[in-house]
Structure 1
Amino acid sequence: MSIRLRLTLWYSGLLAVTMLVFGVVLYGALNVMLYSNQKSQMEEISSEIRQKITVTRWVINGQTQYAVNGLNRLDQFRYPGYFVQVSDQSGSIIKSTTDYPFPTEGAVAAAKKDKNMAERFKAQGKSFFMYNVPVKFEDRQNDVDIFVVLQVAAIVDSIDNQMRLLMYVLVVLFLITLFIAATFGLFLARKALKPIDNIVAATAQIENGADLDKRIDYIGPPDEIGKLTSTINSMLERIQLMYGELEESNRTQRRFVSDASHELRTPLTTIRGNVDLLEKMWRQQENENENARALDDKDKMELSLEAMQDIAGEASRMSRLVNDLLSLARADTGLQISKEALPMLPIVETVVRKAGMLPKSVDFIVGDLSALEGAVVSGSRDYLQQLLFIFIENAFKYTDEGYVRIDALKGSDQIGVRISDTGIGMDKEEVPHIFERFYRADKSRGQTSGTGLGLSIAKWIIDEHGGSIEVATRKDEGTTFVVWLPTSRFPEIME
Structure 2
Amino acid sequence: MSIRLRLTLWYTGLLAMTLLIFGVSVFMFINWNTYNDLKVMIKKQSDQINVNMTYILNRGTLDLDLISKSKLVDKDIFVQLVNYHEKLILQPTDLLMAGAKISYPDVESKPEKGYYKRTIEVGKVKYDLLTYQRPVFSPITEGQIVGLLQVGVLTHNEDKYLSGLRNTLIIYSILVVFIAFTIGMLIARQALRPIGRVIDATQQIEKGSDLSMRIPSDGPKDEVGVLVDTLNSMLSRLQTAYNELDEAYKAQRRFVSDASHELRTPLTTIRGNIDLLEKMWSRAKESGQLQGKDGLMLTTDHWQMSSEAMSDIAAEARRMSTLVGDLLALARADAGYVMEKEQVQLLPLTEEVVRRAQLLPRDAEWKIGDLSRLVGVPVYGNYDYLQQLLFIFIENAFKYTPSGHVELSSVRTASYVGWRIQDTGIGMNPDEIPHIFDRFYRADESRGVTVGTGLGLSIAKWILDEHGGSVEVVTLENEGTTFTIWLPIDFSEGEDSSIIVETDPNVS
Q: Shorter-chain TM-score: which interval?
A: 0.7 to 0.9
**Counterpart residue number, 2:51:** 51
Which of 458, 466, 477 matches 2:468?
Answer: 466
Instruction: Note the 1:88-487 alignment, pairs <5 A.
Output: 88-89=83-84, 91-96=87-92, 97-106=96-105, 112-123=110-121, 124-134=124-134, 136=136, 138=138, 140=140, 145=144, 147-205=146-204, 210-218=209-217, 222-279=221-278, 304-442=306-444, 448=450, 450-487=452-489
Task: Please list the CA deviations of residues 206-234 of structure 1 after superposition, one character each: whole Å capped at 9, or x if unmatched.
Answer: 55564433444455555444444444443
Give the one of 69, 76, 85 matched to 2:80.
Answer: 85
User: Can you list the C-alpha shifts for 1:19-51, whole angstroms capped at 9, x where unaligned?
Assistant: 222222222222232222223332333333333
Percent identity, aligned pairs only, is 47
- Give me the whole-angstrom Cα distance separating, in 2, the residues matched to 1:66 and 1:130: 29
**Structure 1 residues 102 and 475, CA, compared in 2 at 3 Å: closer, same or farther?**
same
- 1:423 Cα deviation after fit: 3.2
2:267 & 2:402 partners in 1: Cα distance? 29
Q: Name the amino acid aligned to 1:3.
A: I
Matches within 5 A, 1:71-82: 71-73=67-69, 79-82=74-77
Q: For the Cα contact (< 8 Å) 1:107–1:149, is it kept in 2? A: no
Query: Structure 2 CA distance, aligned partners of 1:260 and 1:375?
Result: 39
Alpha-carbon distance, 1:314 to partner: 1.8
Q: Please tell me whether the aligned partners of residues 472 and 481 of structure 1 are also in contact (alpha carbons under 8 angstroms).
A: yes
Aligned-pair CA distance for 1:470: 2.5
Determine if contact 1:55/1:137 at 8 Å carries over to the other structure.
no
8 A Cα contact 2:411 2:418, kept in partner: yes
Letter in 2 for 1:320: T
Provide the rounded CA distance (Å) in 1 between the counterparts of 2:143 and 2:355. Answer: 147
Distance 2:399 2:248 in 1: 29
Please, which moves more after superposition, 163-172 or 252-261? Answer: 252-261
Distance 1:74 1:99, change over 3 A: farther
CA–CA distance in structure 1, aligned partners of residues 398 and 135 of structure 2: 136
Residue by residue, what CA displacement relative to the aligned partner does 1:407-443 show, whole Å, maximum 9, x if unpaired?
2222222223222233333343444444344444548
Tell me: CA distance 1:305–1:431, structure 2 relative to 1, closer, same or farther (3 Å).
same
Paired letter, 1:48: Q
Query: 357-366 or 8-17: which moved more?
Result: 357-366
In structure 1, the residue matched to 2:33 is: 33
Where do 5+ consecutive residues of structure 1 fail to align?
A: 290-295
Relative distance call for 1:84 and 1:75 in structure 2 (3 A) is: farther
Query: Mind listing any 5+ residue stretches in structure 2 that lack a counterpart?
Result: 289-297, 497-508
Distance 1:188 1:250 in 2: 49
Letter aligned with residue 466 of structure 1:
G
Supply the RMSD in Å over aligned alpha carbons: 3.5
Q: Distance in 2 between matches of 1:2 and 1:443?
A: 55
User: What per-residue deviation string (whole Å, max 9, x for no partner) do you get for residues 321-353 of structure 1?
Assistant: 112221222222222222211111111111222
**Structure 2 counterpart of 1:293:** none
2:63 matches 1:67: yes
Q: Deviations over 1:385-426 (max 9, x none)?
A: 222223333334444443332222222222232222333333
Partner of residue 291, structure 2: none
User: Structure 1 residues 446 and 273, CA, compared in 2 at 3 Å: closer, same or farther?
Assistant: farther
> Following TM superposition, by how much is the alpha carbon of 1:173 offset from its aligned partner in structure 2, in angstroms?
0.8
SS at match of 1:426: coil
Distance 1:144 1:407 in 2: 130
Instruction: Decide whether the 8 Å contact of 1:85 with 1:152 is kept in 2.
Output: yes
CA contact (8 A) 2:48 2:71 kept: no
Q: Name the TM-score, length of structure 2 as normaliser.
A: 0.81
Please give the per-residue CA displacement for 1:72-95, whole angstroms capped at 9, x wherever unaligned: 55798x752323332211653233
Q: Cα–Cα, structure 1 residues 321 and 204, in superposed 2: closer, same or farther, change >3 Å?
A: same
TM-score norm. by structure 1 comes to: 0.83
Mapped to 2, the partners of 1:146 and 1:383 lie a distance apart of 121
The count of residues paired between Structure 1 and Structure 2 equals 481
TM superposition shift of 1:203: 4.6
Q: Secondary structure at the match of 1:416?
A: strand
Q: C-alpha offsets along residues 162-183 of structure 1, whole Å, 9 cap, x if unaligned?
A: 2221121111112111111222
Residues 1:439 and 1:33: Cα distance change in structure 2 (over 3 Å) = closer
Q: Is 1:134–1:147's contact at 8 Å kept on the other side of the alignment? A: no
The CA deviation at 1:102 is 1.8
Distance in 2 between the 1:219 and 1:362 partners? 61
Kept in 2, the 8 Å contact 1:428–1:474? The answer is: yes
Partner amino acid for 2:347? L
Query: Is the 1:87–1:104 contact (alpha carbons within 8 Å) kept by the matching residues of 2?
Result: no
Distance 1:58 1:209, change over 3 A: same
Greater displacement, 399-408 / 271-280: 271-280
Contact map agreement 2:212 2:239 (CA 8 A) in 1 = yes
Q: What is the CA–CA distance in structure 1 between the aligned matches of 2:486 and 2:458, rounded to whole Å? A: 16
Q: Give per-residue Cα distances to partners, 1:296-323, cap 9 Å, x unaligned.
A: 9777666555444333322222122112
The structure-2 alpha-carbon separation of the partners of 1:153 and 1:203, relative to structure 1 and needing over 3 Å to count, comes to same
Amino acid at match of 2:328: L
